[in-house]
Structure 1
Amino acid sequence: MICIALVLIMSTSAFAATEPKTEEQKTFYALGALISRSLAVFELTPSEYDLVQQGLKDSIVDKKAQFDPAPYTEKLQALAQSRRKAAGEKQSAAGKEYLAKAAKEKGAVKTESGLVYIPIKEGNGPSPKATDTVKVNYRGTLIDGKEFDSSYKRGTPAEFPLNGVIKCWTEGVQKMKVGGKAKLVCPPDLAYGDAGAGEMILPGSTLAFEVELLEVKGAAAPSAPSK
């Protein structure tokens, strides 16, 4: 479902840009920032943004839209899918260039699967197997550098079975040793493919992860048979 929440937007001349200072102001600012993510899939042109702005003003300020928007829900769904697909195609092409450039970095190894593994710091502990559970810190970015996930920001390392994540991680982290850090550049078919993930990871996205391997916990013990 497309989630387009109401946002208090007037014409750009109707308000002066102010820095949010209080928690309440920051909350409303966050509302606008989060809504912008919902709208990002449309890649609005300036004239399209003006129309969106007009619809918001008519509905919120004037309390009366020029027409009933409900019948346009399916058209909005189709438009979002179409533009997301087009954006994904651009992302895919740019990703190939990014992978080729990454493969030329010092120490980089491009595997048969297409993964580019770049060591940052060599570890001196054990390497995990695919069936092991690992504890890591990591930061995930798009090829333009935008961060979409980070255990560092959450302040808590991630822990998971290595064979329960994207293929890029399953392969790449096995090349690491505890105490080491590496950059994994993941082609789409080793990441989220043509489906993408969430609002930021478009279909066909190449992704980059900086991963720090903290601990290998071994495979989970099988459950005891019931009596």
Structure 2
Amino acid sequence: MRRNLFILLGSCLALVSLAEAARPTPATEDDKTLYALGVIISRNLQPFALTEKELAMVEAGLADGVQDKSALKDLESYGPKLQELQKSRMAVAADKEKAAGAAYLAKAATEIGATKTASGIVITTLTAGTGASPTAADTVKVHYEGTFVDGSVFDSSIERKEPATFPLKGVIPCWIEAVQLMKVAGKARIICPSALAYGDEGRPPQMPGGATLVFQVELLEIVKPGTAGLPAPGN
């Protein structure tokens, strides 16, 4: 695992170094494919939140490593230290996310029509439903769109133009609680505290740790047992 981490870091930084030296514009499909590879690999560095000075030090290690003249003789011992660094940086980032989320939740709870559950979820009914309410044991069919507090979309069945069907007990705790408060044909805005979503760890790189999530949900149907469905939100 440690060896893979060092290899991954080396690959990421090699791409960063090349990008700083010259920034070619992807023109052909092959160019775009390789560019996409660079973007995907670079996401593995995001949890470290490196400063320019720190990145320069890592690049120095990369250059020495490529030339087999590393100043560190006990390289393997730094595997746990790298993991600890990543953990501490992610904790700082999660704290910032939670602070922003707490402010967002507090403001949303004061809006007309909003209710706040004992667990901290803020729910606003957009369209009152006319059907039954599901239980945690039910499978539901929904249309939804999930955004972060800055409004950026991270998942949307609406964009895919295909509703999602899944067991309610298989989703995040926020959904399990909030969707049971809805009725079929109803629409609601559901704001999930991070503790009832993906917690401090998140689901990198798509879902940052500590993120408060905002969902627009339409409950279309309580599905009969045996009906196959699409992945749950955020999966």
Instruction: State the TM bucket, normalised to the shorter chain.
Output: 0.7 to 0.9
* Mapped pair 1:64 → 2:71: no
Query: How high is the TM-score relative to the length of structure 1?
Result: 0.80
Partner AA of 1:15 in structure 2: A
How much identity, in percent, do the aligned residues show?
49
- CA distance in structure 1 between the aligned counterparts of 2:210 and 2:16, rounded to whole angstroms: 33
Q: Cα distance, 1:114 vs. partner?
A: 0.9
Q: Which residue, 109, 118, 133 being the options, matches 1:112? A: 118
The equivalent position to 2:22 in structure 1, one of 15, 25, 28, is: 15
- Kindly provide the CA deviation profile for residues 190-226 of structure 1, in whole angstroms up to 9, marking residues without a partner as x: 22234433334344332222222222114569xxxxx
Task: Give the Cα separation in 1 of the matches to 2:55 and 2:152.
Answer: 23
Residue 215 (structure 2) aligns with: 209
- In structure 2, stretches of 5+ residues that fail to align are 228-235
Tell me the amino acid that sits aligned with residue 211 of structure 2.
S
TM-score calculated relative to the size of structure 2: 0.77
- Offset at residue 144 of structure 1 (A): 3.0
Against the structure 1 CA distance between its residues 86 and 26, is the aligned structure 2 distance closer, same or farther, given a 3 Å change threshold? same
Match of 1:158 in 2: 164
**What RMSD over aligned residues (CA atoms) do the two structures have, in Å?**
2.8
The 1:132–1:43 alpha-carbon spacing in structure 2 relative to 1, beyond 3 Å, is: same
Tell me, yes or no, if structure 1 residue 24 matches structure 2 residue 39.
no
Give secondary structure in 2 for the equivalent of 1:10: helix
Deviation per CA, 1:13-38, whole angstroms, max 9, x where unpaired? Answer: 521352x3432222222222222321
Whether the 8 Å contact between 2:10 and 2:62 is mirrored in structure 1 is: no
> In the superposition, relative to structure 1, how do residues 21 and 122 fare at CA in structure 2: closer, same or farther (>3 Å)?
farther
What amino acid does structure 2 have at the position aligned with 1:64? Answer: Q
Q: 1-side partners of 2:182 and 2:27: how far apart?
A: 44
State how many pairs are aligned: 217
Contact 2:143 2:158 in 1 (8 A): yes
The gaps in structure 1 that reach 5 residues or longer are 222-227
